[in-house]
Homo-oligomer: A and B are copies of this chain.
Amino acid sequence: MTTAIRSEFDRGIALAPAPAEPGRYHGALDPGWQIGGGINGGLLLAVAGHALSLRHGADGGHPDPVSITGHYLSAARPGPVEVRTEPVRRGRSLSTGTASMLQDGEERLRVLATYGELGTGPGGVHTSARPPQLPPPEQCVGLADAPKSMIDQAALLERLDLRLDPATVGWALGKPSGAGRIQGWFKLADGREPDPLLLLLAADALPPAAFDLGMPGWAPTVELTVHLRARPAPGWLRVSHATRNLADGYFEEDAEIWDSADRLVAQSRQLARAPRVR
């Protein structure tokens, strides 16, 4: 779970086991992961996912999230954080457990997840999914092109090297396409290579797909589920995400993450509250 470089991401998800309290871990949420009023939901899932990785990795040799679901209960703030894990079932190839993230006794996030070891299953692949078609990163829209007002609201953006497909950023110029799709290249600004826990961040790091429906604004995640399908190769990730249905004040957002070896390494879906339209 660590790389040669001790990166901002590794520091961001770092956890220390609580003495004499098995399955409890302490960490700190850094203000550099903020977006809007709180800490990014993907980073929170990576912190909770790290705790479960420590627990299931040690208990049963199942260090990798295979399917992980988080329900977001209250906005997390910079500062100390505690994660309490509870094993549910330990099987031969998969282990299931829960994690609860707390700040000052208030629960921020509840997680239910099944862990295993990626890349140990049968080798056959049958994929009809295709990677997103993107111009090369240098022809995409990066942080240097973003309005300062956006960066001020999203410290997170400075930790990422996010290059959005110019065809899907019309919303930034007041011209959303209406298709509900945003896609681009993703890596960490400090060059830290992808691993399963980083995919949890990548699943919730792009601007909400509702922006492209002409609904800019805060879209709090109710629930986010990520399926990890392969261990990612080094290099750029490609992330595409889209919504197909906004109704009753909620919209879903489906993301696919592809690695540099053209493998679909993660699929995610979240349910988010639609921004209020003024």
User: Which residues of chain B have C-beta atoms less than 8 A from A225's C-beta?
Assistant: 69, 223, 225, 269
Q: What sequence of 0s and 1s flags, for each residue 218-254 of chain A, a beta carbon within 8 Å of any chain B beta carbon?
A: 0000110101011000000000000011111111100
A246's partner among B125, B213, B247 (CB-CB below 8 A) is B125
> Which of B128, B179, B222, B276 meets A94, CB within 8 Å?
B222
Residues of the B chain whose Cβ atoms lie less than 8 Å from the Cβ of A120: 248
Partner of A89, one of B73, B89, B127: B73
A183 to B156, CA, bound (A): 41
Q: How many copies does the complex hold?
A: 2
Q: How far apart are A269's CB and chain B's nearest CB, in angstroms?
A: 6
A114 touches B246 (CB 8 A): no
Does A267 count as interface, using CB distance less than 8 angstroms?
A: yes
Q: Is A274 an interface residue (CB 8 A)?
A: yes
Complex Cα gap A17–B110 (Å): 26
> Taking chain A's interface residues, is the majority helix, strand, or loop, or is none over half, making it mixed?
strand
* A147 on the B face (CB < 8 A): no
A271 within 8 A of B: yes
A45 at the interface (CB under 8 A from B): no
Q: What residues of chain B lie closer than 8 Å to A74, measured between beta carbons?
A: 89
Q: Which parts of A82-123 form the interface with B (CB within 8 Å)? A: 88-89, 94, 96, 98, 107, 110-114, 118-122
Residues on the B chain within 8 Å of A249, using CB: 121-122
B119 contacts A248, CB within 8 Å? yes
